[in-house]
Amino acid sequence: MTIALETRGLEKSFGGLRVTRDLSLKVVQGARHALIGPNGAGKTTVINQLTGVLTPNGGRILLEGYDITGLSVHKRVLRGLSRTFQINQLYADLTPLETIGLAVSERMGRGGDWWRRMGTRNDVNAEISEILSRFHLLDVMTELTSTLPYGKQRLLEIAVAIAARPRVLLLDEPAAGVPESERHDILAAVAALPREVTVLLIEHDMDLVFSFADRISVLVNGGLLTEGAPDEVARDPQVRAVYLGETTDV
């Protein structure tokens, strides 16, 4: 089995606080891997290190066997590691068309074209239109992102990440804050992600995790508590104690 994404002995501290402790994680190619953990377990810090926003104090990150620990954020994207954001970070005053266009242009290496008007390359346009239709955004493609319903915005969030054609996709709470009525679209979009894309899902919502993931890692206090198939994790008494016990009363 090929490993798509791997961390070896990842360490991160803020001041005296160790937020990531000796974290070694292996995500198998094509996996639907979930990273769960109670609030404050350091999930976001892990994501930020994987994507290059934060530099780890120790340890290494490998993408398909290639060491990306020192790579800048955009270079990791071009190497095939893409992410969605938990809190809405979309461009409020751009349209879905422009947002997807940005990502597609960059992936095709045409993002720096300064002499050419937008919309004049058919290969770029074709891909934009394909992605917009796949994520049901064609009808709203010329509206400002800030005016879209929240569910559409979450779809756009996933669409932007997919537009970079990642081989590994980090999904940071894709359904957070989405009203029940629009939830189905998001879950369908997540379920419909192509199998060759490896997905690491960071999630709070246990229903989503157990319906989606084929492997689960549990993060507690910045370190790995346990890892296994969903039914193993669900049965693990330690996990029940620190995590599932917490969520049952939510």
Partner 1 sequence: MTALSDVSTHAMASARWRISEVAFWVLALACAFLFPSRYLIMTDIVRLGLFAVSLDLILGYAGIVSLGHAAFFGVGAYSAGLLALHGIINEPVIALVVAGLVAAVLGFLTSFLVIRGVDLTRLMVTLGIALLLEALAERFSDITGGTDGLQGIEMQPILGRFAFDMFGKTGLFYSLIVLFILFLLARRVVHSPFGLSLRAIRNNPLRAAAIGIPVNRRLIAVYTLAAFYAGIAGALFTQTTALASLDVFSFERSADLMLVLVIGGTGYLYGGLIGAVVFKMLQELFQSITPQYWLFWIGLVLVMIVMVGRARIHRWVLFVPNLIIRQCAGRKAAVTVPEGDAP
Give the interface with partner 1 as residue ranges (CB under 8 A): 51-53, 72-75, 77-78, 82-83, 85, 89-95, 97-98, 101-103, 105-107, 110-120, 122, 125-126, 128-129, 132-133, 138, 141-142, 160, 164
Collapsing DSSP to helix, strand or coil, 88 comes out as coil
Residue 89 or 247 having the CB closest to partner 1? 89
Residue 53 or 229 having the CB closest to partner 1? 53
Residue 23 or 100 having the CB closest to partner 1? 100
Compute CA distances 152 → 95, 126, 159, whole Å: 12, 21, 10
Neighbour tally for 58: CB within 10 Å: 13
Please report how close the Cβ of residue 86 comes to partner 1 at its closest, in angstroms: 12
Q: Round to the nearest angstrom and report the end-to-end CA distance of the chain.
A: 37
- What phi, psi does 50 have (nearest 5°)? -60, -40
C-beta separation of 101 from 130 below 8 A: no
Please report how close the Cβ of residue 71 comes to partner 1 at its closest, in angstroms: 11
Residue 163 or 201 having the CB closest to partner 1? 163
Please report how close the Cβ of residue 249 comes to partner 1 at its closest, in angstroms: 35
Please report how close the Cβ of residue 145 comes to partner 1 at its closest, in angstroms: 11
Task: Give CA–CA dist 67/65, Å, rounded.
Answer: 6
